Amino acid sequence: MKDLGSLHFFLGMEACTDGTKLYLTQSKYIHDILARTSMLEYKPISSPISSGSRLSLHDGDPFQDYSLYRSVVESLQYLSLTRPDITYTVNQVCQFMHCPTTAHWMAVKRILCYLKGIITYGLHIRPSPISSIHGFSDVDWAGNPDDRRSVSGFIVFLGSNPVSWSSKK
């Protein structure tokens, strides 16, 4: 076994250390997604989903490029490993992988515009003097307009560091 030094790049994630702190980001990965979708020149926005937005199976016209939609959404799923802020919205657009519409593609583009504005954000892992575990959860009761199923989400912190999060239908 050979020591390769400090970790700098791992599976598309950039790792920076500052003494005892670790910062994980995927800014190059986000840049690559923006370039692949020709969205490098788009204007950044402040949230990944508009307030009160509810996507439905029947929103908009059928989106012609299914493979592009699936590819970008799958990339966003991987990106949510270091970005708990997009987990809910990515869960929403994942529900339409079988038959995306133009409205669903607009929701994906909104996520990308949001990421463009905060491309360098990521997880900041630092030692915490308090080693307590805190969890937060939420659910929207029968919030899906198509099948009336609920979406639940949670995030768990160890000290001040997020260690697990999810959003599921």
The pLDDT assigned to 78 comes to 94
The pTM (predicted TM-score) of the whole model is 0.86
Give the amino acid at 80: S
The residues near 65 (Cβ < 8 Å, ≥ 6 apart) are none
Q: What is the mean pLDDT of residues 31-47?
A: 94
Residues in the chain: 169
Q: H-helix or E-strand containing 133? A: strand 133-140
148 pLDDT above the threshold of 90: no
- Helix or strand or coil: residue 16? strand
pLDDT in tens, 48-64: 988 877 888 888 899 99
The pLDDT assigned to 156 comes to 94
